[in-house]
Structure formats: structure tokens, C-alpha cells
Structure 1
Amino acid sequence: MEPTVRQRYLALFSLFASLPAMAITFQTRLEKVEWKVDGDQFECRLSQDITDFGQGQFVRRAGEQVTFRLQARERWLGAGSATLVAAAAPWQPGRGDINLGMVNVVDNGPMPFNSTQQQGTRLLTGLLEGRSPLVRHRTPDGGEGIEVRLMPVKFNKAYHDYLDCTTKLLPVNYDQIKQAQINFPGGGADLDDVSRAKLEIILQYMKADPSVNHIELDGHSDNGGNRLTNLDMSRRRGLAVTEYFKANGIPESQIVLRFHGERYPLVPNTNAANRAKNRRVTVHLSRDPMPPAPTTPATAPIKPAATS
């Protein structure tokens, strides 16, 4: 028979009452547990406040899987390795805790650690099974043990809202897209379907993030021709990418083009496969500082008169 909500509450209270006296345990009372979902096209967050500690957060960035992290108001966790556990609920007899391995804890900021993506995914799966994300560690002085626990109650509705958020994420994040490579494996300077697809993803990100407003393009060739021919081919490839950006709304003033011929091979030009890899344009995105806000006429400085 499925246990009632009251039975679950009583089982959890019994569990916490039985914890060793030397352990400091942080968790929110069941009746006060709330899950929050927020985010945008760059990142989705699913979080629960932890009384007297801070917050537990599941964070999924665009282009990545979810990770789990703690946000601490005080330096409760000492540097070192903590144990991450998907803890079984006391109303599920016969189920043991699942040890998900260690996480490296730092003690010099509000975010003591980030889990791996595999650990984050397994913790979410555990929550759907009624398990609690649990972190076991020690205080900074290496003395008392600490347990930080998130509660699985009220999770399903928040999880559905979180999934809705993830459907709006961009296909990549800035770290993944800031350095890209457009290949010309067949020779020549024409963009193929694969190259256009890569450029479309870059454009999609730039249109979503106006702070990315500078593109550096470097054209390259293999060593199949003479030096001048290779230099011209690398220029034509860079121009093909430049024109694609311009045709899709990127101002020419934001683009810097360089071309190098065969000077900087990615791999040695020793076979056909390697030569194909060297026929490329690298795309580097960066965020230039935003220009200062214009001053109002009332406070604008007076410019000196021009001298002849």
C-alpha cells in the first residue's frame, strides 16, 4: 500500500531525530519546502532553499546537461572532497542510499562546488524516485561532520516547469561557441551544408546575446599549391564566411578578417585527411566593452574650439 503523506512526514522526522549528535544537519522542514524554477534561453535553474544554510540548485546551461551545486551564506564546508549521495527515503524500505562519488569543495566563495553533469542527472532521477540529494562533509576546521539535504516533496510540478524552461534553451553556450572552426574539406572556397549549419548556430547565439559584438576570422589553406595561391585561397575562404555573416545582419564593422595561407597548419599536411582539416576558417567571438552612455545636453562637456 502506498504510504500516506502523514506517514512520510513521520518517517522523515524519525530519521532526522536519529542522526548522530556530532553531525550538523541542514534541511528545510517539510511543510516549508518550496521548489523554485527560473531561467532564460541561456540557463535554467531548479532550486530549493535550505534553512540556515543557503540553497541547493540544479543548473542547466545551454548546450550542456544539468549540474548540482550548493550556494552557502556562510563558510560551512571546508576545502577538500565531499560525498554526494542520492539518499533513500525512509518510507521506501529495502532501498539503500546511492553513493554518487566525490565533489571537490572550495572554501573561498559562495558556491562551494559544482557536481559533474552525470552526478547532476542522477540526482534529478533520484528526486523523481523520492530520493534526497545529500552532501556529506566536514566543517572548515575538519571537526564536526555536516550533512546538507534537499527534500523531495513537491518536486514533480517544479520539475515539469523546469523541463518547459529547458525547451527554450539555445543549442550552445558562449564557452562552446566562442571558438569555432568552419571547414572546407572538398577544397575551394564555397560553404557546404555543414559549414552553413555551424554558422547558423553562431548567428543564433549572437542575436540572443548582443554583448557578443566582435568576430575575428582567420583563413587557412593546406600546402597543395604555391605560397601565393594558398594565401589567396585562405583569403577567399575568409571572405566567404565574412559575406555569410554580413548577409545575415552582422555589421562589417564587427568583423576582422586575416588570412595566412599554409603557414599555420592544424595538423601536418602528410595525407589527404589532414590536408582537408587544414582547409578552414577559425571563428573567434568576443565581448567588446559596451560604449559609455551618452551624456545629456545639460551635463555634456564643452568642446574646445578647433584651431587652424
Structure 2
Amino acid sequence: MRQRYLALLSVFASLPAMALTFQTRLENIEWTVEGDKFECRLTQPITDFGAGEFVRRAGEQATFRLKTYNPMLGGGSATLLAAAAPWQPGREDINLGTVRIGSGDVLFNSSQVQAGRLISGLMDGRSPVIRRASSDGRVSEVRLLPVKFNKAFSDYQSCVAKLLPQNFDQVKQSEVGFPGGGIDLDAAAKARLQVMLEYMKADPTVNHIELDGHSDNSGNRLTNRELSRRRALAVMDFFKANGIQESQITLRFHGERYPLAPNTNNANRAKNRRVAVRLERGAPAEQVAPQATKPGVTATS
């Protein structure tokens, strides 16, 4: 385990006595930007401690996390601040609330609101500060500096502009509706499927689609099952027309058997006319049920 904990000792007039501050020397400050279509990261290394990092996943706002190889900060709770710089007299620190310090490499992840306020503070010359007071009154803090932030943030925004509309957790399941009662995909359904398709093309590990067709109870059981089958086929045809192989798709149809809402009124029946779409990573072909009526197609009654 590292025995050297000292990065730069700084005593500010606004801090209690015996405050140990981890930060990088002013002349060594750097921000790095890394990312792809799935995630963008804006990072400041902290000498002899780790790094402070803004992380923005596709489809979400940024969060802030503190990474470390140094156990000096310890566990428990800490205060997150957008701190005024010593060269900004008359300005007070902005308290952004508490964070729970963990024991792993990533000590905490902030909320999206906290991260947004930290970014605004950096643009205004403030420093993200994580401050923890121990039971004996000693204060330890980790401080990032706003030096060179504006240029790095511009690069980070360029990365963000290339993110996919949604991340895998958001896109992996969807309900495609047929509110009019037919079997044709409307514009809203196609737009939803297009987002899923774009994600599959960007992430080759997502290579399997599960389709489950459903109906309301308006017709007899056989008619409803056929409607649910044709709706699922309409979704499958959309994917096939856009380059997805049929072997990558498992199709099931259930008729009226699994309603989302009681079939007691028109609004509920419209909810039940649907195809549930689920994306999976590496799903094997053997998942197709033995009683399938044809490869990749299963009926339930």
C-alpha cells in the first residue's frame, strides 16, 4: 500500500485548522477528455490521490465521481462543495449536500443535479471540493481546480454531441403499440424501433432480439392470436428490412393471454395491442422453444 499521501498541503483561511488538502500543483493541472458513442468522460488527475471525473452516459446527464488509489479519505459521509477560489474575495462556498464515501476505487458518484452545479461552478472559476471531518476534528479534503477547464469542457461537449440517443439500459426494452387495432407500424412505433436499431448497429455485442406479440380480447381466441402474430411479424420485418438477420430474432405471440391492463375500456384495450421488444447480448439460438411452429417463432394460447 502506498505510504505517500501528500500531494500539496494548502491551508485556506476559510478552512478549519489541520486541513489536509489533496490537489495537483497549479502548473501541473490538466483535464483529459475521452469517450465514444456510449459515454464521455472529463477528468482531472489528482496527484497522489486519483482523479475527479465527470461521466455522461448516452441518454443521461453527467454525474461526478471521485476515483482513488489512496485510502486516506476513509469512509463515511463527506460534504460536496463548489468552493470559491482564494483569489475571489467576498464569495462564499456553495454547499451541494453530502455524499457517501465508499471503500472501492470509486469513492462515490454524485447526483446529476450536483454534477450540473459543479460544472456551472467550474465555468465560474469555482473548485469542486470533497471535504470530510473525522471524529477527532481533523479535516481532509480533495480539491479540483478550474484551470484550463473551459477548453476541455468544449472538447467534452463535442464528445457529448456524438452520444447515442439512449444507453443500453434505456433502450433494451420497449413496447410498440398498435392503438388503432391494426397490424401496421405507425410513425411513433417506427421511431422507437429506429432508436433500438441504431443502438444495435453501434454495439455489436447486442445481437439478439426477443419479440412478443399481444392483442386485446375483442375477438375470439384464435383471431386474437393471429393478430398478435402478425403484429410481431410487422416488427420483425422492420428489423429485417434494416439489416438484421432473421436468425437473430426470436418471435412469440400470445393473443390476449397477457394484458397490461384489464380489457374493460377502449383505452386499456389499446394498451394491450402491442409487441414487447427486448434486446439481448449474445443470446444463443437454442433459446427458441422446442414447440416452435417454425424456427424462431413460438405461439402460446
Same fold (TM over 0.5): yes
- Aligned in 2, Cα 1:261/1:152: closer, same or farther, shift over 3 Å? same
Summarize the alignment of residues 144-163 of structure 1 with structure 2, pairs less than 5 Å apart.
144-163=138-157
- Judge conservation of contact 2:16–2:139 (CA < 8 Å) in 1: no
Per the alignment, residue 54 of structure 2 pairs with 58
Structure 2 spans left out of the alignment, 5+ residues: 1-7, 285-301
- CA–CA distance in 1 between the matches of 2:55 and 2:229? 42
Question: Could you tell me how far apart the structure 2 residues matched to 1:17 and 1:101 are?
Answer: 22
Are the equivalent residues in 1 in contact too, given 2:73–2:141 (CA < 8 A)?
no
Q: Structure 2 vs 1, CA of residues 278 and 289 (structure 1 numbering), >3 Å: closer, same or farther? A: closer
Q: Counterpart of 2:125 in 1: which secondary structure?
A: coil
* Partner SS for 1:64: coil
- The alpha-carbon deviation at position 179 of structure 1 amounts to 1.1
Q: Give the Cα–Cα distance (whole angstroms) in 1 for the partners of residues 50 and 108 of structure 2.
A: 13
How many residues align? The count is 277
Q: Which residue of 2 aligns with 1:135?
A: 130
Q: Which residue of 2 aligns with 1:70?
A: 66
> Residues 19 and 99 from structure 1, CA distance in 2 versus in 1: closer, same or farther, beyond 3 angstroms?
closer
Q: Deviations over 1:50-87 (max 9, x none)?
A: 11110000011111101100111133343333221111
In structure 2, what residue type is equivalent to 1:217? Answer: L
State the partner residue of 2:23.
27
User: What is the DSSP-based 3-state SS (H/G/I as helix, E as strand, rest coil) of the residue aligned with 1:59?
Assistant: strand
Structure 2 SS opposite 1:253? helix
What is the Cα deviation at residue 273 of structure 1? 1.6
Match of 1:193 among 173, 187, 191: 187
Distance change (3 Å), C-alpha of 1:222 and 1:289: closer
Q: What's the counterpart of residue 160 of structure 2?
A: 166
Equivalent position SS for 2:71: coil
1:131-153, Cα deviation, whole Å (9 max, x unpaired): 111112257x9884321111011
How far apart, in 1, do the equivalents of 2:11 and 2:18 lie?
15
- TM-score w.r.t. the length of structure 1 is 0.84
Q: 1:152 to 1:188 in 2, by over 3 A?
A: same
CA RMSD of aligned residues (A): 2.1
Distance change >3 Å, CA 13–CA 88, structure 1 → 2: farther
Structure 1 residue 101, shift from structure 2 partner: 1.4
* Structure 1 position 88, deviation (Å): 1.2
1:251-290 residue CA offsets vs partner (Å, 9 max, x unmatched): 1111000111111111222222221111111111111179
CA apart distance, 1:13: 9.1
Change (3 A) 1:43 1:57: same
SS in 2 for 1:151: coil
Alignment-mate amino acid for residue 72 of structure 1:
T
* 1:221-258 C-alpha deviation (Å, 9 max, x unpaired): 11211111111111111000001000100011110001
Which has the larger displacement, 196-205 or 226-235? 226-235
Match of 1:243 among 226, 234, 237: 237
Tell me, what secondary structure is at the counterpart of 1:76? helix
Percent identity, please: 67
Q: 2:212 aligns with which of 213, 218, 239?
A: 218
SS of 2:70's equivalent in the other structure is coil
Aligned-partner SS, 1:219: strand
Superposition pairs for residues 288-307 of structure 1, below 5 Å? 288=282
- Point out where structure 1 has 5 or more consecutive residues left out of the alignment: 1-11, 291-308
How many Å apart are 1:15 and its aligned residue? 5.1
